[in-house]
Chains A and B, each alone.
Chain A
């Protein structure tokens, strides 16, 4: 990277057009001076012009010469680029499986922009995309993209309704803004309360967390008269708890008790055991991110933008895939399994979402057609392996001495 930067600094600093422009200006000055002289004394015209020849030619040559450093600077930069990318080919069209579904990509982008809160950009994009629908291009997996399925046609006709989604996300950003920037919990609490049932069934304690934060806010809030040591804050918090905490009494009995216990320590909270719960700077950020996750989950969407995760995973995977492609080209082989990548791609653990079951006998990943089966001993193998091992009779588990029958095995879900 450093030599690239050096070359560019050279181009920017000295090897630019300013020298040449200066030369052109000098030529203009020469001409103007000669013109003035001739206008003044027409008799000198032939002499003046003859005298002009050499210096003007010199200027022209100089101007051309001053272009040279740019030329060589650009060449050097070009060579440095070639060196940098010598073993990094431009990704070819073969790596592209998506050109046959431009509508889906457009939809994914629109949703990405909305969930990032880029509402203006999103509406510009949706408007432009509807005006100029994209042209699908054939790819290896979809050689004939024009035979669209019904849902894809719907998208192509511009019936993708972004308004609802936009409304939802703008609500989300409104609430997040209130949380993060204004430390105002009211809109979030209102949202959570309206969905109290769903959130509860999900095992989410978002509503309680929000209310608890509200309690804490009231508790530590001070009156203008800072030194008065008044118990107004705790009193307000207590009143809030009395009116709002009733529904939480059973589910969060312990937490509610703790909050109430804190009331006893209000004059010197900082030294009390409740310090951690009350004076936590990260509380707002935590609540905001757990709100985002719940909000997106209720829409059936992942909390982080899938487009972001997929593009990042793609960039991590690409070197491995390209290496593989080169090897396959050399050996002139093709993938034997169309629906599975031929190499493992190491990703950071946070990019693993589903549990993966690989049958320890066949080394194949389980699918809907070949699901994982648990034998009575608790060991799990794939359906196909089970069928092969048992051949319809009692058989011994490959991993322990227990014998069982295939029909005793049970389908499990990871």
Chain B
């Protein structure tokens, strides 16, 4: 039989919620490295070719100004490279700092042995702040997120900048109907996207094609000469990007767009022309982004809360009757967090916790109105409320409630 209560803290299994905490900066570090590699490769290749070209040219002509000019351009290119690398180095430094802070934060948990330790309480409060910032960032409330992270001093433990960048791209798709930012992102993450077989880039290219065709049709309607040029551009675009591995059916549909005008409501073309495709692209970008950075599909706060609500919820939390053991009517009891306004409605649809044994206060007694209290608590309340020797009041009823002679209190047996 499982234990009813536990105060033991198993740090290892407690880290379930914290994988993204370390994964995200790791992926960011890798991206920084890849960028550095790309810049370097690109610039050095250029350098070697232009150096040999300059050498060749210098032997042929005797005009030094041209040679000097090419050397200058080489120098300026290398300086640009250096500047870019330095920016990345700054990023690298920041990331390493946050890596270290996060590992230290998790390490702290391993030093706490018990769930009732004050240190666990502190740790868990930091975790809640992290979860809240994560939630705010995902919902796009970046300002609040940055504000909260700053006021809690946990900026190293959350990825505000990364999420802001992500939302900028999402926004450019959803509201701005632009593909450029998202395509740039795809380029930056090309290798990883290929590895997971993501269809994001194709969808973006398809959208570009659709927009070209739409512009072509619209121009034709106005009798504009641009029309043909746009449609030709569209076919070129299609040839360039759709050749390999395109679903032939989709390819056919895309070609069909050339014949069907955007305002003719015929499926499947209407749905290709539909503005809701931007919504779809934004969503696709978000899921691609999250899975690439090992972020769970739903906010961690939801996951922690769902589990927590169920673990805490009892049938009494949504009962029509006031619970004797936890209510706001008397100062001898505390309000249960699920009964509190904040979470009560949220918890309505989650299952309640399973209990196989009754949990009641020691020495329970019953009042004539059916309310059961621990004898000690009943006594304390009645002493505090003002001594009326021989009489007992119900803590849930208050001073205006009924009172009974002490002799009417009965012992009750709960097995």
Contact = CB atoms under 8 A, between A and B. Distances in A.
Contact of A313 (B64, B308, B395): B308
B198 interface: no
Q: In terms of DSSP, what is the predominant structure of the interface of chain B?
A: helix
Interface in B313-338: 314-317, 319-326, 328-332, 334-338
A105 B304 CA distance: 12
A307 B359 contact: no
B26 A81 contact: yes
Contact of B315 (A38, A294, A311, A367): A367
Nearest to A377: B413
A398 to B, nearest CB: 9
Contacts of B81: 24
Contacts of B79: 28
Contacts of B356: 344, 358, 363
Contact of A317 (B5, B86, B308, B321): B308
Contacts of A95: 298, 303, 306-307
Contact of B339 (A50, A294, A302): A302
A343 B381 CA distance: 36
A319 B380 CA distance: 39
Nearest to A133: B139
Contact of B321 (A12, A90, A293, A413): A413
Nearest to A361: B415
A300 B17 contact: no
A380 B144 CA distance: 51
B62 A42 contact: yes
Contacts of B317: 354
A83 B29 CA distance: 19
B395 to A, nearest CB: 6
Contacts of A32: 75
Given A302-B339, A413-B370, A96 B85 contact: no
Nearest to B72: A35
Interface string B47-60: 11001101100110
Nearest to A352: B359
A347 B311 contact: yes
Interface in A54-91: 56-57, 60, 63-64, 67, 70-71, 74, 77-78, 81, 84-85, 88, 90-91
Contact of B359 (A67, A88, A305, A356): A356
B136 interface: yes
A129 B305 CA distance: 20
B309 A310 contact: yes
Contacts of B183: none
Interface stretch (A167-175, A196-204, A226-234, A237-245): A196-204
A28 B75 CA distance: 6
A277 to B, nearest CB: 18
A34 B354 contact: no
B283 to A, nearest CB: 10
Contact of B100 (A8, A104, A108, A301): A8
Contact of B370 (A251, A311, A367, A410): A410
A18 interface: yes
B352 A339 contact: yes
Nearest to A9: B100
A353 B303 contact: no
Contacts of B151: 118, 120-121
B253 interface: no
Contacts of A258: none
Interface stretch (B126-134, B218-226, B237-245, B266-274): B126-134
Given A63-B44, A81-B26, A313 B312 contact: yes
B308 A340 contact: no
Contacts of A296: 335
A132 B342 contact: no
A312 interface: yes
Contact of A203 (B13, B100, B115, B381): B381
A340 B351 contact: yes
Nearest to A313: B308
A250 B386 contact: yes
Contacts of A4: 22, 103
A51 B375 CA distance: 98
B51 A56 contact: yes
Given A201-B398, A319-B16, A399-B413, A354 B103 contact: no
A222 interface: no
B249 to A, nearest CB: 29
Contacts of B165: none
Contacts of A98: 302, 305-306, 346
B229 interface: no
B335 A300 contact: yes
Nearest to B17: A315
A27 B71 contact: no
B256 interface: no
Contacts of A204: 330-331, 384
B337 A302 contact: yes
B280 interface: no
Contacts of B301: 105, 311
Nearest to A17: B89
Contact of B330 (A78, A202, A351, A368): A202
A268 interface: no
Contacts of A50: 55
Contact of A142 (B6, B52, B349): B349
B312 A353 contact: yes
Report, nearest first, the 10 A-B pairs whose CB atoms are least far apart.
A314-B308, A306-B337, A42-B64, A353-B336, A310-B308, A204-B331, A314-B304, A314-B307, A346-B6, A302-B335
Given A60-B44, A93-B296, A315-B17, 7 more contacts: A95-B303, A95-B306, A96-B298, A97-B306, A297-B334, A340-B351, A346-B5
28 contacts: A1-B107, A24-B40, A24-B78, A24-B85, A38-B68, A45-B64, A46-B58, A50-B55, A71-B33, A93-B296, A96-B303, A112-B132, A200-B385, A307-B343, A311-B127, A314-B304, A315-B304, A319-B14, A349-B5, A354-B314, A355-B325, A355-B360, A368-B315, A368-B320, A374-B412, A380-B412, A413-B322, A413-B324
